[in-house]
């Protein structure tokens, strides 16, 4: 799932390649992806793209005061295209959800792989009209230490869930929460409201360092290379069975119904493996 660093890098890429061009037209290929009807998607045609930004994990293209807002969900991505074919795509064919044509013949595709479709497209007059944006907590790179501590102390659930709850802190998803917790040397199942002061400091510093490092590595990347750059920098996420780059212990996994997390027992849980929550009580 694209998270804060990737979405911010995509916004920067669009600022460099799309801002200043006229959006000639937008072709919808996946009807289920569009979540709004007023203004219509066709209202964007003929308007200049004047900005590109990010709200949490939402990508926001400012089109002369109208906003094309996209949430890429788990398997969505943006692909830059040079010399787009003029014929509109056939709806329902392949992973294509939306094709955006610019006035110079270039543009981009929004695609989503797999059968579970979650990519969402909104055309709104203000980003705050998007329900998910209206509910966002403070941005993970803008929240200060005191605010961060107060947010976590108010949360009684697990750290993993607190970091990925967009209404608490926005921008962190499954992958970077694993990386942050590994960097902070904290169990994903430790209670968010049970952190000691030194643990809060470690976690806050890990959030800043992990996301800033990932964003620095993504800056200047083309959209086509961002996913590979993200994978290359991961320490534990999606590395089940591989040695931890810090201590050499084997990275382990806890699986849930529709997701999983990865962690290092030596670095994070005192050497103890975590049990599957569906089967037994978690070790903390």
Domains of the chain with bracketed CATH: 4-129 (3.20.190.10), 145-263 (1.10.8.50)
- Least Cα distance to 171 among 133, 221, 116, 209 occurs for 133
Q: Spell out the residues 6+ positions from residue 202 whose beta carbon is closer than 8 angstroms to its own.
A: 184, 185, 186
Which pLDDT belongs to residue 277? 55
d(C-alpha 53, C-alpha 207), whole Å: 21
How crowded is the C-beta side of 273, counted as CA atoms within 13 Å? 12
The sign of the CA dihedral 151, 1, 125, 219 is positive
Burial class for 232, CB neighbours closer than 10 Å (0-12, 13-18, 19+): exposed
Q: How far apart (Å, rounded) are the C-alpha atoms in residues 122 and 159?
A: 31
52 neighbors 14 (Cβ within 8 angstroms): yes
Contact yes or no for 66/124 (Cβ under 8 A): yes
Report pLDDT for 284. 45
Q: Which of 259, 220, 257 is nearest to 237 (CA)?
A: 259
Tokens 């993504």 identify what position? 218
Q: Which residues of the chain have pLDDT under 50?
A: 278-284
> Which tokens go with 121?
């497209």
pLDDT of residue 37: 95
Residue 279: its pLDDT value, please? 46
């Amino acid at each position: 799932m694209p998270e804060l660093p990737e979405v911010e890098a995509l916004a920067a890429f669009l600022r460099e390649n799309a801002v200043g061009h006229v959006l000639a037209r937008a072709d919808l290929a996946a009807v289920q992806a569009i979540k709004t009807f007023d203004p219509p998607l066709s209202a964007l045609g003929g308007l200049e793209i004047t900005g590109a930004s990010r709200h949490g994990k939402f990508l926001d293209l400012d089109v002369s005061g109208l906003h094309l807002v996209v949430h890429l969900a788990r398997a969505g991505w943006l692909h830059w295209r040079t010399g787009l074919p003029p014929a509109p795509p056939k709806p329902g064919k392949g992973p294509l959800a939306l094709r955006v044509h610019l006035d110079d013949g270039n543009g981009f595709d929004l695609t989503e792989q797999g059968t579970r479709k979650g990519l969402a497209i909104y055309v709104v007059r203000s980003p705050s009209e998007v329900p998910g944006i209206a509910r966002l907590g403070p941005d993970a790179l803008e929240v200060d230490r005191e605010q961060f501590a107060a947010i976590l102390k108010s949360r009684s659930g697990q750290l993993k869930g607190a970091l990925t709850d967009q209404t608490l802190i926005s921008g962190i998803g499954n992958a970077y929460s694993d990386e942050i917790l590994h960097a902070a040397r904290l169990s994903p199942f430790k209670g968010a409201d049970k952190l000691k002061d030194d643990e809060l400091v470690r976690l806050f510093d890990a959030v800043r360092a992990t996301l800033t490092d990932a964003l620095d590595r993504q800056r200047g990347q083309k959209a086509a290379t961002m996913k590979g750059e993200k994978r290359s920098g991961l320490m534990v996420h999606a590395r089940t069975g591989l040695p931890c780059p810090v201590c050499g212990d084997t990275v382990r996994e806890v699986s849930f119904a529709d997701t999983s997390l990865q962690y290092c027992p030596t670095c994070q849980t005192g050497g103890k493996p975590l049990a599957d929550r569906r089967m037994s009580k978690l070790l903390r």
